[in-house]
Copies of this chain bind each other. A is one copy, B any other.
Amino acid sequence: MNVVVVRYGEIGTKARQTRRWFENILMNNIREALVSEGVGFKKVEAKHGRVLVRTNEPEKAVETLKRVFGIVSLSPAMEVDASLDKINKIALRLFRRKKRELGIERPRFRVTARRITKEFPLKSPEIQAKVGEYILENEEGEVDLHDYDIEVGVELMEGKAYVFVDKVQGWGGLPIGTQGKVVALLSGGIDSPVAAFLMMKRGVEVIPVHIYNGEKTLEKVRKIWNQLKRYGYGGKAELIVVKPGERDRIVQKLREMKKEKYTCVLCKYMMVRHADRIAKEFGAKGVVMGDSLGQVASQTLENMYIVSQATDLPVYRPLIGMDKEEIVAIAKRIGTFELSILPEDEIDYIPKHPVIRGSWEEFRKIYRAVFGEEPKQRGC
């Protein structure tokens, strides 16, 4: 193999100008991914809705590039001059290799040809027939268009043919860097990394912010972010750690007021205040949180209302409609789950009975008592 054929989805549907811009960002992210994983390559170029990556280690390249967002599927392929003779020979070679790999005596197969540019004299169905015949003349096998063990792909453009027998799925989404920046709060739990991941998948550069709560948790969050970065090619952000100043005084004050039940809501509100400040420093346009409605008794619309008042930026909650099992399934697939369940520093100030339906008016009173000023509120 000497090339990887990269297929992307949604970008293709955009207006021509936007599309060129998307392709350039995607190609840069691809180069960045290959460089940072130490995969050698000669050239990355966009052609007729494909990206071609010229490399001597296509398998290794595919392993890396399937984590680059915007990519729908990848095929390690052989580029040859578009002559039926050359196509036949290489198709047979790849067919044989795949057959050995699968260890099937008499594999069912099909040939799928596509003319992306039309200069090749034969039409796709004719190419499929010819290549299929050639393989049958030289190897055990039978053609089955629907239920096949091997699919031989042939894509033709600009006088070249790209022949392949593997198609690896990517994550889809959009290339990171096409959708601006957001700040994502990372707690070290299972949910917040998945929320950050889903925003990255939609092309956002995520700036991760962790509110410090002890070394053990911080260590864990660093591991989580390092894992997320493996999907973050195109983003430059490093973990930002905020050490909240007067937490003890606040917790103490709430105890004195017999309002411990508001500790979590106030704590989350303060986290979003920090996220809001950092977002504005970095020109980020939103705050991402891992809330899933009703997952814990205190994850209510009322409490989320209060927390959302802490910023004028939209708070994005990509998990809001998901069940825990769905979130865990994604966390396992992206490799953050086993990190999220590592031990953390205990939080000794979590109240036994957090408020279920916090009231903004009560929250305001508490905030004034603690900070001697009005809390930030939206739409005042």
Name the contact of A301 in the complex, choosing from B180, B294, B308 (C-beta under 8 A).
B180
Quick check: which of A200-208, A228-236, A342-350 contacts chain B, the rest being far away? Answer: A200-208
Are B312 and A286 interface neighbours, CB within 8 A?
A: no
User: Is there a chain B Cβ closer than 8 Å to A117's Cβ?
Assistant: no
Contact of A10 with B295 at beta-carbon distance under 8 Å, contacts A180-B301, A301-B182, A321-B198 already known: yes
Are A294 and B178 interface neighbours, CB within 8 A?
A: yes
Name the contact of A324 in the complex, choosing from B10, B179, B379 (C-beta under 8 A).
B10
Are B203 and A293 interface neighbours, CB within 8 A?
A: yes
Contact of A285 with B309 at beta-carbon distance under 8 Å, contacts A198-B321, A202-B293 already known: no
Task: Give the chain B neighbours of A247 by CB distance below 8 A.
Answer: none
A286 to B376, CA, bound (A): 19
User: Is there a chain B Cβ closer than 8 Å to A323's Cβ?
Assistant: yes
User: Is there a chain B Cβ closer than 8 Å to A187's Cβ?
Assistant: no
A218 to B363, CA, bound (A): 41
| Residue of chain B at shortest CB distance from A326 | B172
Contact of A204 with B293 at beta-carbon distance under 8 Å, contacts A10-B324, A300-B180 already known: yes
A321 to B322, CA, bound (A): 12
Are B285 and A202 interface neighbours, CB within 8 A?
A: no
A300 to B178, CA, bound (A): 10
Contact with B along A321-347 (1 / 0, CB 8 A): 111110000000000000000000000
Task: Give the chain B neighbours of A179 by CB distance below 8 A.
Answer: 293-294, 300-301
Name the contact of A321 in the complex, choosing from B10, B14, B318 (C-beta under 8 A).
B318
Q: CB within 8 Å of B: which of A97-155?
A: none
User: Is there a chain B Cβ closer than 8 Å to A192's Cβ?
Assistant: no
Task: Give the chain B neighbours of A286 by CB distance below 8 A.
Answer: 301, 304-305
Contact of A305 with B314 at beta-carbon distance under 8 Å, contacts A202-B321, A300-B180, A379-B376 already known: yes
* Interchain nearest-CB distance for A80 vs B (Å): 32
Task: Give the chain B neighbours of A83 by CB distance below 8 A.
Answer: none
Contact of A172 with B325 at beta-carbon distance under 8 Å, contacts A301-B182, A312-B309, A316-B317 already known: yes
User: Is there a chain B Cβ closer than 8 Å to A297's Cβ?
Assistant: yes
* Interchain nearest-CB distance for A115 vs B (Å): 25
Contact with B along A350-380 (1 / 0, CB 8 A): 0000000000000000000000000011111
Contact with B along A282-311 (1 / 0, CB 8 A): 000110000011110100111011001101
Contact with B along A1-19 (1 / 0, CB 8 A): 0000000011000110010
A-side interface residues toward B, CB under 8 Å?
9-10, 14-15, 18, 172-174, 178-182, 195, 198-199, 201-204, 285-286, 292-295, 297, 300-302, 304-305, 308-309, 311-318, 320-325, 376-380
A-B residue pairs, 6 tightest by C-beta: A198-B321, A378-B378, A312-B379, A318-B321, A285-B301, A202-B293
Given A14-B297, A182-B301, 11 more contacts at CB 8 Å? A178-B294, A202-B323, A203-B293, A204-B293, A204-B301, A286-B305, A312-B378, A314-B315, A316-B317, A316-B320, A318-B321
